[in-house]
Structure 1
Amino acid sequence: MSRPIRVLHIIGGGEIGGAEIHILDLAKHFSPQEVDLHLCCLFPAPLVQRARQQGIQATAVPMKSKVDLTTYWGIIQLIRRVNPDIVHTHGVRANLIGRVAAKLAGVSRIVTTVHSVLENDYPDPLSRFINHWSEKMTASLTDRYVVVAEYLKKNLCDIGIPASKITVIHNGVDEEKFSRQSISTTLRAELGIEDNVPLVGMVGRFHPVKGHIYLVAAAKEILKINRDVRYLIVGEGFQRDEVEALVRDEGLDSYFYFTGFREDIANIYGAINILALPSLSEGLSLTLMESMLSGCPAVVSAVGGNPEIVSDGKNGLIVPPMDSLALAAALLRLLEDPCLTRRLGEAAKRTIEERFTAQRMAERTQAVYRHLVT
C-alpha cells in the first residue's frame, strides 16, 4: 500500500483510563508514513478534547444506549467519510456499534483490543449478562483480536475465540511523560505533606474491581504499627463517595488525601514512596507500569497481567487479592526497609525500559495492520 494505512479507532471515551491512554500513546508513536489514525468517541467528553489537543483527528458521535439507532447511522456516516482500511474497537459498547457499523459501511477488516476481562468490569449481574451477550453476538465480525496481556489470550480462548485470531501486544508506557524535565517536586507541598512522611499512593478509577476497600482496611492495620504513613488516592469514579465514607467511618480522615483526577501523573509517582494496586482483576496495568518507570516500587495483587510485569521480591511485591492483612504486611516491609524499596524501584524502572515501552507497543500494532492489509 503506497499511502499510510488509515485506521478508525472507536471507543467510549467517557473517561481517561488505561484504554484511552493506550490510544493516545499509539497515536503519538505510530509512524505517520505507516498509519493515519482517526478517532471516534461515543461520549462527548473528555477523550475527544484530549485527543484533539494532541493533534489527533477526533470526532464525537454521542451514544445514549446500545440500541440508539441514530448513533449507528452517525457512525456509519463517519466511517464512509473517513473511508478507513481498518476499524479498531475498544470496549463492549464500541465493539458492538463499531463492528456492526463497519460491516454495514463496507469495511472488511476489523480489529478489537481487549484490555480487561469483561465479567470483572460489570459487578451487576444483569449488566454483566447483557454485555456478555452483546459481545458474543458480534464477536465473529472481528478479524483480529489484540490483547494487552497473556492471560487475556487464555480468557478469550476459553470462551471460544480461536488462538489463531489473537495477538498479544503488551501495553507500553510513553517514556517522555516521565523524563526528569516532566516532573515537579511541589506536589507534597501543595497537599501539605512533609518530604519525610511515608506516602503510599493508589491511582485508578473508583470501581469495586480496583480494590480501594482493601487499601483502607490495610491502612487501619498499618496504623497499629506505624502512625506516620499517609495515603494519596488519585482518580474519579462512581464509588468515590462510598470509599471516602468508609475512610471517615474508620476514623482515617487525617491519613488519606483524595485528589480526584490529575493530569500531572508523573508528579504523583515522584511524590509517593510506594504504589498500592490491590485490584481484583487487571489487564496489563498502565498505572503499574508508569509507577515502575518512575522508579516507584509497587505492591500488587496476584491477578490478571500483574505477574507478567512484577516478579515478587525482584522488582516489586505480590500479594493475594482481597487480602488486606497481606497487603498491610507487604507495605510495611517496604516502609521499614528503604534499601529494599530503592533496590526494587531501580529494578522496576529497568523492567519497563527494556520490555514495556509505548514505541514497542506501536511498532507491534503497526505490524498487525500491515498483515491485515497485505
Structure 2
Amino acid sequence: MPTPRPSIGPALRAENGRLRLLQVLGGDGRGGADQVALALADGLREQGFAVAFFVPAGFVRHQRERLRGRAVSVAQSFSPFSAAALGALRRAAQGADLVLTHDSPARHLTLAAKAMGGLQAPLWFMRHCIIRPPALPWAPWQRLWVAHQLAASEVIAESLVASGYPASRVTRLYAGRDLSSFFAVDSQARRALRAGLGLDVSPAPFCIGMVARFDRWPDWHPQVAHPKGFDVLFAALSRLDFPYRVLLLGPPHPEDHEALRTMAQVHGARPDWLIFPGFQNDISAYYGLMDVNVLPSRREGLGLALVEGLAAGVPVLGSGSGGIREVIQDGRNGFLFPEGDAVALAGLLIRLAREPELRRRLGGEGRRQLQETAFDEGCLVDGFMDCLAREHPVSVHGERMP
C-alpha cells in the first residue's frame, strides 16, 4: 500500500493564519505536472492550507471535479507581454502567501509579473524537466526573483545547479500523486476494459503499455527522433515475431492517433495493433491490462508513468535517461536500456514475453520497493511542508509569511 502520511499536528484553517498558496499552471490538466499540482493541493488542504489555482480554461474542463470547492481563476492568456494576463495574475495572487508554478508558460508569466512589481508574494518554481546546462536563460533574474526551486528528481536538481542556480535554494522533491487506485485491483473493471478494447481474444496478445504525451511541432515528420521515444518503441516492435498490442495512454486527439499510426508504419510496427483509449482522468485500471510498461524517453525528468506501473504491479522498461534511473532498479523492479536503443528494447520485450514468471517477479518486487520510496502524494506533501518549514517557518505554524 502507499506510504502513509504522518500527522503534523492539528490542522488549522487558512483563515486562522496558515499558508495561502496559489498554484499557477499553463497546461490543460492532462500532463504529469498537472497531476502533481492537484495531488499537492489535495494533501495541503488536508493539512488546513488554502490552495487556489490560476489556470487556462482547458485545465478546468479536464479537471472540473478535482477543482470543485477551490478558488480558481481562469487565465485567458499566459503571454508575459500581455497586460491583461499580468493583471489577471496580479488579481488572482492578492492575499496569497506563496506562488508556485509547475511549467514554462506559468514560469514566464510569473517572472514577468515579479519583474514589474505585480507579484508581491514569494515565488517558487517546481521543475519537472531537466535543464540544459550550462546556460539557463533568465538565470540572473531567477536568482533575483525566485525564492526557491523544487526539483522533481535528483537529476533535475543537479541540472539546475549546473545551470547557475544556487544549490542552497534548490530542493529535490520527488513528483508524486495518490497511488491508492493503482494498488487496488478491480478485476471486474479490468475485464470490462479488456473486452471493450478488443484484448479478450485467443490467444491473448502481449500487451505493451506506454503512458506519455505526444507533441508535434511545425517541422515534425514521422521519422523524427521524438522526445518521448515513440520512434524507439515502434522500431523495437518491428523486431517482434509474436502478436502484440500497444496501449497508448496520453495522446488525446484523433489527429495525434493518425500521426502515431503513420510513425509506427514508417518504423516497421503494426499501426492496426495500436490502441488509443483517449484522455482518461483515472487510468489505474488500464495498467491492469499491461504485461509490461515502457517509457523510452530522451531526457526524462522522472517518469511518473513508471511509478504508476510499479504501483500496479507491472514490470517496467525505461531508457537510462535522466530521472528514470531513480525509479527503475535494473533487474529488480524492471530493466533499463540505453537511450534510443531499439534493438536492446526489443530484446527485453522478447524476454519478458517469453518469461511470465519473470514478469510476475518484477511486478511483485516493484510494488514492494515502491512502499520504501518517496513517489506518492503523502511524501510529496511532507517534503513540501519540510521545505516550507525550513524556508518560511512561520507559514507552517500559524502566522503569515513576511
Spell out, residue by residue over 1:126-145, the C-alpha distance to the aligned partner (whole angstroms, 9 max, x if none).
xxx9xx63566445311111
Q: CA deviation at 1:177?
A: 2.3
Flag the 1:91–1:53 CA change in 2: closer, same or farther, 3 A. closer
* Local SS of the residue matching 1:173: coil
The corresponding residue for 2:381 is: 362
* Local SS of the residue matching 1:155: helix
After TM superposition, the structure 1 stretch with the greater mean CA deviation from structure 2, 46-55 or 111-120, is: 46-55
The corresponding residue for 2:63 is: 50
After TM superposition, the structure 1 stretch with the greater mean CA deviation from structure 2, 16-25 or 247-256, is: 247-256
Structure with a larger share of its residues in helix: 1
CA distance in 2: counterparts of 1:31 and 1:47, whole angstroms: 19
Spell out, residue by residue over 1:239-287, the C-alpha distance to the aligned partner (whole angstroms, 9 max, x if none).
6543221224436133222222223311110111101110002112211
The corresponding residue for 2:399 is: none
2:388 maps to a residue whose letter is Y
1:172 aligns with 2:168: no
CA distance in 2: counterparts of 1:280 and 1:18, whole angstroms: 16
Spell out, residue by residue over 1:201-232, the C-alpha distance to the aligned partner (whole angstroms, 9 max, x if none).
1111113211111111111111xxx3222211
1:245 aligns with 2:253: no
Equivalent runs, 1:99-118 vs 2, <5 Å? 99-102=111-114, 104-105=117-118, 107-118=120-131
Spell out, residue by residue over 1:44-103, the C-alpha distance to the aligned partner (whole angstroms, 9 max, x if none).
1134651554433222112163322210111112212xx111111111221121233256
After TM superposition, the structure 1 stretch with the greater mean CA deviation from structure 2, 311-320 or 175-184, is: 175-184
* Local SS of the residue matching 1:247: helix
Q: Does the CA contact (< 8 Å) of 1:146 and 1:169 recur in 2?
A: yes
CA distance in 1: counterparts of 2:79 and 2:62, whole angstroms: 22
The corresponding residue for 2:96 is: 84
The corresponding residue for 1:204 is: 212
Equivalent runs, 1:88-167 vs 2, <5 Å? 88-102=100-114, 104-105=117-118, 107-118=120-131, 133=137, 137-167=141-171
From 210, 213, 222, the counterpart of 2:231: 213
2:49 maps to a residue whose letter is V
1:340 aligns with 2:354: no
* Local SS of the residue matching 2:54: strand
The corresponding residue for 1:230 is: 245
2:324 maps to a residue whose letter is N
The corresponding residue for 1:39 is: 53
Flag the 1:50–1:318 CA change in 2: closer, same or farther, 3 A. same
From 59, 73, 76, the counterpart of 1:59: 73
Q: Does the CA contact (< 8 Å) of 1:48 and 1:59 recur in 2?
A: no
The corresponding residue for 1:8 is: 22
CA distance in 2: counterparts of 1:33 and 1:280, whole angstroms: 37
The corresponding residue for 1:324 is: 342
Flag the 1:74–1:136 CA change in 2: closer, same or farther, 3 A. same
* Local SS of the residue matching 1:96: helix
Moved over 6 A (4+): none
Flag the 1:106–1:119 CA change in 2: closer, same or farther, 3 A. closer
Aligned residues: 358
CA distance in 1: counterparts of 2:275 and 2:62, whole angstroms: 28
**Which consecutive unaligned segments of at least 5 residues does structure 1 have?**
121-128
After TM superposition, the structure 1 stretch with the greater mean CA deviation from structure 2, 64-73 or 108-117, is: 64-73
CA distance in 1: counterparts of 2:119 and 2:80, whole angstroms: 21
From 8, 18, 28, the counterpart of 2:42: 28
1:16 maps to a residue whose letter is R
Flag the 1:281–1:332 CA change in 2: closer, same or farther, 3 A. same
* Local SS of the residue matching 2:100: strand
* Local SS of the residue matching 1:271: coil
Q: CA deviation at 1:333?
A: 1.2
Q: CA deviation at 1:34?
A: 4.3
The TM-score normalised by the length of structure 2 is: 0.82
Q: CA deviation at 1:14?
A: 2.2
CA distance in 2: counterparts of 1:13 and 1:48, whole angstroms: 11
* Local SS of the residue matching 1:233: strand
Flag the 1:236–1:251 CA change in 2: closer, same or farther, 3 A. closer
After TM superposition, the structure 1 stretch with the greater mean CA deviation from structure 2, 247-256 or 15-24, is: 247-256
CA distance in 2: counterparts of 1:51 and 1:347, whole angstroms: 36
The TM-score normalised by the length of structure 1 is: 0.88
Spell out, residue by residue over 1:327-347, the C-alpha distance to the aligned partner (whole angstroms, 9 max, x if none).
111111111111111111011
Q: Does the CA contact (< 8 Å) of 1:90 and 1:113 recur in 2?
A: yes
Q: CA deviation at 1:179?
A: 4.3
Superposition CA RMSD, Å: 2.4
CA distance in 2: counterparts of 1:280 and 1:49, whole angstroms: 27
From 254, 267, 291, the counterpart of 2:285: 267
CA distance in 1: counterparts of 2:119 and 2:104, whole angstroms: 21
From 189, 197, 206, the counterpart of 1:191: 197
Spell out, residue by residue over 1:166-203, the C-alpha distance to the aligned partner (whole angstroms, 9 max, x if none).
01111223122224366621211001112632100111
Flag the 1:316–1:167 CA change in 2: closer, same or farther, 3 A. same
